[in-house]
Structure 1
Amino acid sequence: MAIQRRIPPPLPFADQVAIFSRLAEANPAPETELLFVNPFTLVVAVALSAQATDVGVNRATRGLFAVADTPEKMLELGIEGVTEHIRTIGLYRQKAKNVIALSRILVDDYAGQVPDSRAALTSLPGVGRKTANVVLSCAFGHPAQAVDTHIFRVGNRTRIAPGRDVDEVERAIEDNVPARFQTHAHHWLILHGRYVCQARKPRCGICPIRDLCPYEEKTA
């Protein structure tokens, strides 16, 4: 019988407040590093970012969004046109099909507008819960938590939001991060994981929350 890993308790409320206060002071208005011009291009950009870097996606979408920034224009471009723009991104053929398919649904079912509903967003081809949460947060300002590998790592290392999988970490953020920090929480955590609390060698020497972090394997 497999033994489930014990999940330690999250940090106390006072520590959560202190941590997010420091992150907010350092970066009061964090934003996604994916380039987009409207909710539709954000949906496309996040869908394309699966198994790809933001830098690589941005490089491909600059040209794509210059000619197709609405679902109607994307449909005019067609699968082959989308493919030509995104062929430098992993799984580009399937992603091109998804972009055209979700554009068709938005035109046919939503009058060309991106819905601000998680259920509606996740019904679109190539759009999972994480993608939907990014769109809800960045495009509509909802306190949705898009948990990726960076946030999963930071949530567990720091015990801000411990969990065995991304769903548990998402719930832990919602349950434990003070309400006033919820809107930007996933941005602060992903940026912290990307540039400070890195996977192989966390940069603890420059970490603004080092004294509050219980991670045992801190680096100099």
Structure 2
Amino acid sequence: MVPPSPLPDTEPPRDCPRCPRLVALRQTLRAEHPDWWNAPVPAFGDPQAWLGIIGLAPGKHGANRTGRPFTGDYAGDLMFATLAKFGLSEGAYEARPDDGLTLKGTIIINSVKCLPPENKPTPEEARNCRPFADAQANAIPARIFIALGQIAHQSAVKILGGKLPKCRFGHLAEHRMPDGRVLIDSYHCSRYNQNTGRLTADMFEAVFARALALRGRV
């Protein structure tokens, strides 16, 4: 069973019609895999989080299948191992939405809620979904955010009130928003980035170590 959203009033409807291309893919997968989640994936974590993680979009065999962000695919292994190492989760990650895992002080919010073809949402799709991520990021007390990848970075900067020309994406780059909140960039923990060495476990952990170092200072 998929855990309920910690921010239920901010989620899109299960049959959200905003993006025709994503709706078509959703309908195809519902026919092919009727036992999968195949719907917008809700946020997962602590509604009183001090740290917000802005992801890209559900993976086909991960969150789109299981209904929980980063659950059931390669990216999730590094994500949840890192959260556990820094004391940001409780329970064991078993790649199932009913494994009992909970997050402490942390919430995961995708910038795009539905699975995009080839994991690449269009700019229009990111804009269409931004009101949901915007509402969620601004409904929590977090002062520190981590963006996973350049598309998530772009959405996060806009959600947090920043200006993209002044906030260039780069791994471990920090951006202070007009209201004092801080955004830290990371390469996405995708299988591709890990397999090519673009992102290592040490590099990913360094992002979370920096977030913890900033806690209480912003």
Query: Whose strand fraction is larger, Structure 1's or Structure 2's?
Result: 2
TM, length-normalised to structure 1: 0.24
Q: Which structure has the greater CA radius of gyration?
A: 1
TM, length-normalised to structure 2: 0.25
